[in-house]
Amino acid sequence: MSPGVYVHIPFCRSKCPYCGFYSVPSKRPVPIWFEGIKKEIRLYKGLFGRFDSLYLGGGTPTFLDDAILSCLTDHLFAHFDFTADREFTIEANPCDLSAEKIRLLKELGINRVNVGIQSFDDGALAFLGRRHTGREAENSLKRLRRLGFRNIGVDLIYGLPGQTLEHWEGTLNQALLFQPEHISCYELTLEEQTVFGRLQEKGEMHGLSEEDGRAFFLAAAKRLGEAGYVHYEVSNYARTEAFCCRHNSKYWNRSPYLGLGPSAHSFDGTERWWNVRSVRHYGALLKRGSPPIQARETLTKEQIRLESLALGFRTSQGVALTRMALEPRSTEMLSTLKTAGLLKLKDGRVVPTEEGFLVADSLPLCFFP
């Protein structure tokens, strides 16, 4: 399986109150980061073989100045080997997607844009701390299409306080008007160390109830299913199999990937390692010529099995029966879960149903004593 490259670009115009990813709401440390990235690219040169995916994520990659963005891609292509049919994704904010920016992205060889739409409702967008309006969201998608992007992904969020099921279905319908190749539907989660997380601790904000969470999730599965989308991962839908995100699938398939930038994670097939979080620390380590690695781990057999099941049950690929290492008790468990309508057998693989996706966090441990 070919490896992929991920570059973490931890800068945003402002921090969204729900986002738990590492990012800095300023451009000031960009030079430190960029010097670091260039060094880190050289550090891994030749170590990973030929990549077939490149993913610029964040943060807000489109927040970077054009010159830096160009320089970054030049560097990547100069030092790493990529296949001709590579998938090259950038995460984008609707308000950054001016016609000029989009043309630049095309020039840089980017062939997939994943847009952080979240919602088309101005009220919802304001609540989420997004800087774009519903109109801008629509326009950005139109513009991408008009300027020739054939692989567009949109991110949507559901489960905002007070949101009704009808409202969510409305959001889905609006997204479908653009026939995006890829749709990610994320439930709003209130994570620790975010503004929303702190509000939850104080009891001022609540996540969805189990029942509502199910309803929103299943509504998306139903609506997008009707529209012909493939539900290939818990939160991800593709217009056809061909549009499943190649890069993200590497995470779920346990294919190798190289993560560059602060807090990025890497996996070479045996070992996992991850970088330090702070830009400053990251830059300083690379300046000294040291790898900016926070920690690394080599997995035991048991851990590999746990990961394979945990990741596999999040996808429509499921887990190969041969990988399940079933003993009598787990065979019994498998039949219980089949009867309960959570798992099914398909082509020698154990595959979750829609109801199975809903309990995907608990499925792996069923097969461990």
Interacting residues toward other proteins by CB under 8 A = 6, 8, 21, 57, 186-187, 189, 210, 213-214, 217, 234-235, 251-252, 257, 259, 264-267, 272, 274, 297, 303, 306-307, 310-311, 314, 329, 332-333, 336-337, 339-340, 342, 355, 357-366, 368-369
If the CB atoms of residues 34 and 257 are measured against other proteins, the closer one turns out to be 257
If the CB atoms of residues 207 and 225 are measured against other proteins, the closer one turns out to be 207
Least Å from the CB of residue 107 to other proteins:
26
HEC per residue, the chain: CCCEEEEEECECCCCCCCCCCCCECCCCCHHHHHHHHHHHHHHHCCCCCCEEEEEEEECCHHHCCHHHHHHHHHHHHHHCCEEEEEEEEEEECHHHCCHHHHHHHHHCCCCEEEEEEECCCHHHHHHCCCCCCHHHHHHHHHHHHHCCCCCEEEEEEECCCCCCHHHHHHHHHHHHCCCCCEEEEEECCCCCCCHHHHHHHCCCCCCCCHHHHHHHHHHHHHHHHHCCCEEEECCEEECCHHHCCHHHHHHHHCCCEEEECCCCEEECCCEEEEECCCHHHHHHHHHCCCCCEEEEEECCHHHHHHHHHHHHCCECCCEEHHHHCCCHHHHHHHHHHHHCCCEEEECCEEEECHHHHHCCCCCHHHHCC
Taken in order 283, 289, 293, 295, the sign of the CA dihedral is negative
Least Å from the CB of residue 149 to other proteins:
23
Q: How long a stretch of residues is the chain?
A: 369
If the CB atoms of residues 102 and 208 are measured against other proteins, the closer one turns out to be 208
Least Å from the CB of residue 86 to other proteins:
18
- Closest-CA residue to 18 (of 172, 155, 164): 155
If the CB atoms of residues 53 and 140 are measured against other proteins, the closer one turns out to be 53
If the CB atoms of residues 12 and 102 are measured against other proteins, the closer one turns out to be 12
If the CB atoms of residues 68 and 359 are measured against other proteins, the closer one turns out to be 359
Least Å from the CB of residue 143 to other proteins:
27
Least Å from the CB of residue 210 to other proteins:
5
Least Å from the CB of residue 228 to other proteins:
23
If the CB atoms of residues 101 and 272 are measured against other proteins, the closer one turns out to be 272
If the CB atoms of residues 102 and 314 are measured against other proteins, the closer one turns out to be 314
- Closest-CA residue to 83 (of 50, 122, 108, 128): 50
If the CB atoms of residues 237 and 251 are measured against other proteins, the closer one turns out to be 251
Least Å from the CB of residue 309 to other proteins:
9
Least Å from the CB of residue 234 to other proteins:
5
Least Å from the CB of residue 306 to other proteins:
6
Q: How far from 215 is each of 119, 222, 342, CA to CA, in Å?
A: 18, 10, 16
**Omega before residue 59 within 30° of 0, cis:** yes
